[in-house]
Amino acid sequence: MKKIRILTVFGTRPEAIKMAPLLLGMRGRPELEPLCCVTAQHREMLDTVLDIFGIRPDFDLNIMQPRQTLAAITTRVLEGLDEVMEQSKPDLVLVHGDTSTTFAAALTAFYHQIRVGHVEAGLRSHDKYSPYPEEMNRLLTSRIAELYFCPTLQNKMNLEAEGIRGGMYVTGNTVIDTVRLVARGDYLFKDTLLRSIDFNARRVILLTAHRRENYGRPLENIFLAVRDLCEKYPDIEVVYPVHPSPVVREAAQAVLGGVARVHLIEPLPVDDNLNLMSRCYLVLTDSGGIQEEAPALGKPVLVLRRETERPEAVAAGTAALAGVEREAVFSMTERLLCDSEAYAGMARAVNPYGDGHASERIIQAVLNNFGLAQRPADFTP
């Protein structure tokens, strides 16, 4: 029997974290011939994830350049993937989420008349400029794709509301598969700072902030709120793995540089990061993936944005929108530091994003679409 050749394309650290368990799962299926192409839209941050999971790409476009623009990223991905798809001739191209790599890969596959499967399909903020450019990347990828692997029922309903019919599967989110693979109680941190922190004596806050729409005043507000919290509560300690973006680094250093008990560190490898999340007290983030990861570890999440394309977490009570105003970020964090019932309510809420078997469902859905397996049962929380 001819194997189904599947080309998986991704370029950033978050994509790699979420596609790794799917790639590993496909390797074990005799019906499939999985190929991996990385664009390296992020280089160093991507490579650490590939190393942890033992993934060796079949194709590496290595497109990253200093201060790269969105137009430059998209152009280089289109040009690089054109040759890859001509050479590999896959039966299906799998893309993930909402990056510039995602949209450009889907568009290249369309130009070659190759079918596209969209992992983490159907997320919507309903504001094309927030998150930017991710929301439009999602929308455009949805118009090209033929198979949709939706983390939640709400994601599927979003697609149906846009007139998409067929090819949709509710699978849960593959990031929960990754969390279960990586987070463990006996883990020893690679990072020397993390090894020095007494997580029993300090309430550790994990901070991540890097969204383009938060550049400028919103980032400054967030950092000022964190500084205010550290000044008021001597038992908290903040760990901030700072994104490589020069804009983010300059803003973080200007407000938080030198502040007591605030650690501005380099981005962490995925295993350090997930195990830090499992041991911290709470999470402040504008990241999308962390809104899914932290609830799986029983950690409250305050979302540093005005809206979220992951409303399931807010509805379930595992996350809350804190916005980007200094006073709001401060007061909502303070409430979780001072109100044990409010904290417990968020920490114990049911995770709406997965059960650790999303990759299995996606693989079965692919096989189902090629007539080789029954349709998988939809994920339900």
d(CA 157, CA 151): 11
**Res. 57 pLDDT band, cuts 50 70 90:** very high
- Residues 77, 80, 83: CA angle, nearest 5 degrees: 140
Q: Where are the alpha helices (DSSP H) in the chain?
A: 13-27, 44-53, 70-88, 100-111, 134-144, 153-161, 174-182, 192-196, 217-232, 246-256, 270-279, 290-296, 311-316, 326-338, 340-347, 358-369
Least confident range of 176-180, 215-219, 250-254, 349-353: 349-353
HEC profile for 216-257?
CHHHHHHHHHHHHHHHHCCCEEEEEECCCCHHHHHHHHHHHC
Residue 53 CB neighbours (<10 A):
18
**Res. 279 pLDDT band, cuts 50 70 90:** very high
Mean pLDDT throughout 297-323? 94
Mean pLDDT throughout 105-109? 98
- Residues 293, 123, 116: CA angle, nearest 5 degrees: 105
Asked whether the bond before 352 is cis by omega within 30 degrees of 0, the reply is no
Backbone phi, psi, residue 353, to 5°: -105, -10
pLDDT number for residue 335:
98
Residue 299 has pLDDT above 90, yes or no: yes
pLDDT number for residue 42:
78
Backbone phi, psi, residue 287, to 5°: -75, 150
pLDDT number for residue 45:
79
d(CA 300, CA 287): 14
pLDDT number for residue 43:
85
- Residues 351, 233, 254: CA angle, nearest 5 degrees: 90
Residue 1 has pLDDT above 80, yes or no: no
Tokens of 311: 């409303």
**Res. 65 pLDDT band, cuts 50 70 90:** confident
pLDDT higher at 364 or 310: 364
Query: Percent of the chain, pLDDT > 90?
Result: 91
Q: Report the first-to-last Cα separation within the chain, whole angstroms.
A: 37
Residues forming the active site? 98, 120, 134, 210, 212, 243
Residue 379 has pLDDT above 80, yes or no: yes
d(CA 71, CA 81): 15
> Helix or strand or coil: residue 282?
strand
293-332 burial string, b = 16+ CB within 10 Å, else e? Answer: bbbbbebbbbbbbbbbbbbbbbebbbbbbbbbebebbbeb
- Residues 327, 306, 210: CA angle, nearest 5 degrees: 90
Distance set, CA 98 to CA 88, 94, 190, 235, 351 (Å): 24, 13, 30, 38, 22
pLDDT number for residue 357:
97
Give pLDDT tens digits for 223-258: 999 999 999 999 999 999 999 899 999 999 999 999
pLDDT number for residue 225:
98
- Residues 40, 46, 49: CA angle, nearest 5 degrees: 145
pLDDT number for residue 289:
86
92 closest CA partner among 3, 6, 195, 202:
6
**Res. 88 pLDDT band, cuts 50 70 90:** very high
d(CA 237, CA 264): 11
pLDDT number for residue 211:
92
pLDDT number for residue 55:
96
45 closest CA partner among 209, 333, 245:
245
**Res. 64 pLDDT band, cuts 50 70 90:** confident
Average pLDDT, the chain: 95
Tokens of 122: 């159907």
Mean pLDDT throughout 48-72? 92
Mean pLDDT throughout 17-30? 96
Distance set, CA 243 to CA 45, 184, 272 (Å): 9, 25, 15
User: Which H or E run contains 116?
Assistant: strand 115-119
Give pLDDT tens digits for 318-354: 999 999 999 999 999 999 999 999 999 999 988 899 9
- Tell me the Cα Rg of the chain: 20
